[in-house]
Structure 1
Amino acid sequence: MPSLWRQLTSRRPAPRPGGTDAEGRPMQLALVAAVLLFALCRQSQVLVERFLASTLPAGAISHLNYAQKVAQIPMTLSLMLCTVTFPVVARALADGDTERARSRVQRDIALASALVLLGMCAVIACAPQMIELLFQRGAFTAADTAATASVMRVYALGLLGQTLVGALVRSYFSAGRPRWYPVAAMAAGIAVTSWTGAAAVGPFGVAGIAAANALGITVTAALLLTGLRKGRRAADGVSVHLRQVLAELSRPVRAAVVATVAGAFVASRPDSAPAGLVAGLLTVTAVFVPLTLALGGPQGRTSALRSVRTVTRRLAHGRNR
């Protein structure tokens, strides 16, 4: 907080042409306010879930908590990619090279989506084995394992939306100017989560809350992606070719469906949880990776390799500094 306060109250070395130093400061405050309000809206989703789950029997919130903590691991790993490459986008916009920024954002979306979908396949296919291996001991019974696994499978359906929200919102704020559209998109997603959750919690219990979460964050992701389409924000910052992005996303999504079905079938064959988990993970990987590359064609494989090289170069640079 002290560092943030110094940034907000410090004098600028030179005023902008045609304006004064005082004119730049409200813009900086507006940027911070927009980012904080977006984060606040996103975190309020947790409050909505807890409020809806408070009417359910004892243990329901625990099942939801365990399911979320495990299922969010693939999302966290995939968003590391966008964090590493964010300075590339910001620098490109600072240089006025919007085409380079657009290309970087679209490659990040494609690669982060592929990574999280691979993790989503593993989570859905091997949910019972994961939960049993991690938690089934002491007071955590087989019934708790089954309940948590079923909730985790539903919650995992929103992982792609969560990853897209995390990746896309950086594009709105990378130019260093305030954007209120992400706040409105997140508020719309929260409204969908609230109304859908209120309607689904009665008949479906905690699984209905997880489904509402997945639907709400997917709506937010769709709104954020639509807001970045080319021709709408080209003058403000990053824009994307919407049809091209959707075409790129459709390939790993189709591969994920096949990999999930195959992984769930193989994981259910062994009697022990460790053996089933290993078999399921290997099957998911063996199906998803080659199928995604095959659906992407030579251009998709080249783009994926270029993105991986960029990330590894930046990671190596960070270690050597």
Structure 2
Amino acid sequence: MGWLRASSIVSAATLASRLLGFLRDVLLAQSLGAGVAADALLVALKLPNLLRRLFAEGAFSAAFVPLFSQILTSDGRPRALAFAGRALTALGLVLTVATGLALLAMPLVILVLAPGFDPLDPRRDLAVELARRTFPFILFVSLAALLGGVLNVLGRFAAAAAAPVILNLVMIAVLLWYGGEPLALARVLALALPVAGALQLLLLWQACRSAGAPIRPRADLADPQLRPLARRILPGIASAGVYQVNVVVVTVMATALAPGAVSFLYFADRLAQLPLGLIGVAISTALLPIVARRMAEGRLEEARAVRDQAVEIALLLTLPAAAGLTALALPIVSILFGRGAFDAAATVATAAALQAFALGLPAAVLVRIMAATLFARGDLRTPLMGAIVALAVNLTVGLATLGSLGHLGLATAASLSSWANLAVLVRRIGRIEGRAFSRRTKLRALGGLVCAIVAASVAVQALREMQHLEPPMALGGAILVAGLAFLGMAAVARVVRPQELVALFRDRA
């Protein structure tokens, strides 16, 4: 399967998951409100979600996929599947022990996650109870991540991409059909998390069988490849952990500002994360197994060519998105959030933060792609160093501008940290390969940037011409006109050629 088609599958599944997640949050707010049950449940969901991001999403795949690809290429499918079975067993044993310890230590864990819940606060005991119900989710979703890695290497992306949708579907089903009072509903929702994780694992287990790659647990753990797998996982988790610390640090610094700063950054970041998930995460997820497979087969030039193509397509999508978010930030925020208690001042402040986040969007997307290339080479140290540099830049710039720019300084610091992270990765790849980007890729990126800036200007002018329409219709029309203008200019400037996209989609390039 072509990497562009694989990316499209992952992107579509990500979009479906985000939309269902929005519906889930609406139903959750409607059913639980903002009382004791809601507070306790949201705290209980923090830990499994954090561990899922640290471990299951990215860190394990980055370590497992290149090794599995290498064994598949050198030793054949039976040996590779045997390795996957042993890795599944080892991972299951480690996570079972970790889950048991976490369940015993949950009161202490909740004390760290929610220090504001004092011993007399009813939310504390309820949060401990709910967290014990939700925590086994990390066991199931981590095992599912291994099976998803196997499927991705074999070119079967659909099941692994669709699996996260199951969680939102299960929780939406509970919210729609369970009629209990808030405390009882919170307890059922907490149990829904591990149930959804088990369903994800079952789906991917069956998908592996259907793909002719059944993964069976193996009691014999004497596989020499398990040690390098363990050594690779730890830097991957640390890299993801630095990013999560980055997010927490921004929130902590924002609490030192006037009320509302945390909310401005949260809502702006939610909008900026949408293109990052649909473009950066989707392409990097599809790219990792394909590049790893080519490298394992010794096809290094092909692997580099695939990465160059991925960079070009990513920028073709990201540059107009970043320019559009910058130019249309105010009407976008106004239409989506500007109602009720979210007044005009909040709209302006959030739009300014969105513009600052948008400036770092191209770098954040490219970081995903360049890191996937390094992961495929077995280099997890450089992405970790990049994440550490990003954290240092974020802290330095954020603290330096906190007094003068407030929440806008924090958003700007986040964008600059993405560019610093990218610089570390590009420098390392340049040293390994002699260059990080081909001349064609650089020229197309420059052309795409010019087209995106012009298209953003077209969008602003089109919005002015459509002021007689309802705001959502005017915004949609302006985006459509600007999108067509960008595509036309990109085609004329040969930033992209339709026949190349068709060839990439069919994996003929």
Q: TM-score range by the shorter chain?
A: 0.7 to 0.9
Q: CA deviation at 1:87?
A: 2.3
Q: CA deviation at 1:268?
A: 4.1
C-alpha distance 239-304 of structure 1, shift in aligned 2 (>3 A): farther
Residue in 1 that maps onto 2:490: 292
Task: Name which one, 1 or 2, has greater alpha-carbon Rg.
Answer: 2
Residue in 2 that maps onto 1:137: 339
Relative to structure 2, which stretch is displaced further, 248-257 or 27-36?
248-257
Which of 215, 221, 229 is the equivalent residue of 1:11? 221
Q: CA deviation at 1:141?
A: 1.3
TM-score (norm 1): 0.83
Q: Distance in 2 between matches of 1:239 and 1:91?
A: 21
8 Å Cα contact 1:169/1:224 also seen in 2: yes
Q: CA deviation at 1:142?
A: 2.0
Q: What letter is aligned with 1:219?
A: A
C-alpha distance 115-297 of structure 1, shift in aligned 2 (>3 A): closer
Which of 187, 204, 218 is the equivalent residue of 2:419? 218
Unpaired segments ≥5 residues, structure 1:
14-20, 312-321
TM-score (norm 2): 0.54
Q: Deviations over 1:121-169 (max 9, x none)?
A: 2222222222122112221112211211121111111110110111111
Residue in 2 that maps onto 1:155: 357
Which of 460, 464, 475 is the equivalent residue of 1:277? 475
Q: Distance in 1 between matches of 2:423 and 2:389?
A: 11
Residue in 2 that maps onto 1:247: 443
Q: CA deviation at 1:117?
A: 1.6
Q: Distance in 2 between matches of 1:11 and 1:109?
A: 39
What secondary structure does 1:228 align onto? helix
Relative to structure 2, which stretch is displaced further, 105-114 or 116-125?
116-125
Q: CA deviation at 1:308?
A: 3.7
Q: Which has the higher contact order (CA 8 A, sep 6+)?
A: 1
CA RMSD of aligned residues (A): 2.7
Residue in 2 that maps onto 1:197: 398
Relative to structure 2, which stretch is displaced further, 34-43 or 58-67?
34-43
Q: Distance in 2 between matches of 1:252 and 1:12?
A: 51
Which of 94, 102, 122 is the equivalent residue of 2:304? 102
Q: Deviations over 1:11-38 (max 9, x none)?
A: 356xxxxxxx3xx443222210121111
In the alignment of these two chains, the number of paired residues is 296
Q: Establish whether residue 56 from structure 1 lines up as the match of residue 254 from structure 2.
A: no
Q: Distance in 2 between matches of 1:276 and 1:102?
A: 42
Segments ≥4 residues shifted beyond 6 Å: none
Which of 262, 266, 278 is the equivalent residue of 2:462? 266
Q: Distance in 2 between matches of 1:281 and 1:205?
A: 30
Q: Establish whether residue 228 from structure 1 lines up as the match of residue 429 from structure 2.
A: yes
8 Å Cα contact 1:67/1:149 also seen in 2: yes
Q: CA deviation at 1:109?
A: 1.1
Q: Distance in 1 between matches of 2:93 and 2:432?
A: 27
8 Å Cα contact 1:125/1:280 also seen in 2: no
Q: Establish whether residue 306 from structure 1 lines up as the match of residue 503 from structure 2.
A: yes
Q: What letter is aligned with 2:420?
A: V
8 Å Cα contact 1:130/1:273 also seen in 2: no
Q: Distance in 1 between matches of 2:327 and 2:352?
A: 11
Q: Distance in 2 between matches of 1:302 and 1:227?
A: 33
Residue in 1 that maps onto 2:321: 119
Q: Distance in 2 between matches of 1:82 and 1:133?
A: 31
Q: Distance in 1 between matches of 2:438 and 2:427?
A: 7
Which of 376, 382, 388 is the equivalent residue of 1:187? 388
Q: What letter is aligned with 1:307?
A: L
Residue in 1 that maps onto 2:128: none
Q: CA deviation at 1:98?
A: 0.8
Q: Distance in 2 between matches of 1:266 and 1:155?
A: 24
Q: Establish whether residue 257 from structure 1 lines up as the match of residue 453 from structure 2.
A: yes
Residue in 1 that maps onto 2:375: 173
Q: Distance in 2 between matches of 1:51 and 1:303?
A: 46
Q: What letter is aligned with 1:88?
A: I
8 Å Cα contact 1:127/1:152 also seen in 2: yes
Q: CA deviation at 1:277?
A: 0.9
Q: Distance in 2 between matches of 1:132 and 1:241?
A: 39
Q: Distance in 1 between matches of 2:294 and 2:356?
A: 38
C-alpha distance 241-145 of structure 1, shift in aligned 2 (>3 A): closer
Which of 242, 261, 278 is the equivalent residue of 1:77? 278
Q: CA deviation at 1:170?
A: 0.8
What secondary structure does 2:360 align onto? helix
Q: Distance in 2 between matches of 1:6 and 1:233?
A: 36
Q: Distance in 1 between matches of 2:253 and 2:461?
A: 33
Residue in 2 that maps onto 1:319: none
Q: Deviations over 1:235-279 (max 9, x none)?
A: xxx974454443332221222221222212322441642133123
Q: CA deviation at 1:224?
A: 0.9
Relative to structure 2, which stretch is displaced further, 189-198 or 80-89?
80-89
Residue in 1 that maps onto 2:131: none
Q: CA deviation at 1:62?
A: 0.2
8 Å Cα contact 2:390/2:417 also seen in 1: yes
Q: CA deviation at 1:10?
A: 5.8
Q: Deviations over 1:3-62 (max 9, x none)?
A: 46259896356xxxxxxx3xx443222210121111111222212211221111111110
8 Å Cα contact 1:158/1:215 also seen in 2: yes
What secondary structure does 2:303 align onto? helix
Q: Distance in 1 between matches of 2:220 and 2:370?
A: 30
